[in-house]
Amino acid sequence: MSRDRYLVTGGAGFIGSNLAESLLRDGHDVRVIDDLSTGRRENLAEVDAWAAEGGGSFELHEADIRDAAACAAAMEGVTYVLHEAAIPSVQRSVRDPWTTNGVNVNGSLQLLTAARDAGVQRFVFASSSSIYGESPKLPKVETMESDPISPYGLQKLAAESYCRMFYRLYQLPTVCLRYFNVFGPRQDPGSEYSAVIPRFITSIRDGRTPVVYGDGGQTRDFTFVQNVVDANRLACQADECAFGKKFNIACGERISLLDLIEKIGKHYGVDVKPQHAAAREGDIRHSEAGIDRAAEVLGYRPKIDLDEGLRRTAAAS
């Protein structure tokens, strides 16, 4: 009897490598497609180790998701697709909407087409809270109108629409997960596009002053990566009522960047005064997720809160 095989797109990246490791730990067969433009081969070291220990099999396809032949080859024999590949930066999308659209929209469409043709059982798409835009209503819920204020948010919305259409038109079972500010081990702190938590942790740990864009009063619903891994795996097992739908994946709580810095500083036993820089284009002011729909339909519950997530992230840094 053949075993289920998972395809993790962008599997050498931060979230993708955590997904691949979780699946390998549980003995599943995993294939990764990644062009290594933002992902890193070293992120897969633990994946290689678990495969060598005799868990599931592991393959890496070094290829671009915009390549039709590469997508078709990666899709062979696949049961579940976890689509994490993207250029995941609001700021980069503002600077370069053309390139980011090519990967985030055209690449997603290429994968959906290959998944349809291969007859996969589930296509889980990594979407984003940036779809909601600047609506002052909190918490953000899936029934709200979408109003993205960056090309990145618009690109994720377009890919979501393709997922919904592929379910309705071709009966490809798709599920969209709207991530809220994911953080955790393997998140790169070195890029100018890096998320705030790895940058703050690295700066405070090394005795440097962390930089806050804007006044620091903006709030975010930070979500530890293991919660996202759990949500993806639940989406693969959800029944038909989840197909063609979108779900917020977060903790349902928000914290300001200034309070976050204070919290990280206490972990290291220091009093931190950040440096402020100009606010960045495309950044929203406040974000907090309503997660009732994910709880009801997927059975999702965040198991790791912000404090525990920060502790694990700092320990791995």
According to DSSP, the β-strands at 29-33 and 58-61 are parallel
Read off the amino acid at residue 149. I
With b for 16 or more beta-carbon neighbours within 10 A and e for fewer, the 195-210 pattern comes to bbbbbbbbbbeeeeeb
Q: Is 92 exposed, middle or buried (0-12, 13-18, 19+ CB in 10 A)?
A: buried
Candidates 6, 80, 132, 152; catalytic one: 152
167 given a catalytic annotation: no
At 126, give phi and psi (nearest 5°).
-85, 100
Spatial separation of the C-alpha atoms in residues 286 and 310, rounded to whole Å: 20
Continuous H helices in 218-276 = 225-237, 257-268
Cis preceding linkage at 274, omega within 30: no
- The closest alpha carbon to 275, from 224, 209, 216, 179, belongs to 209
Write out the catalytic residue numbers. 152
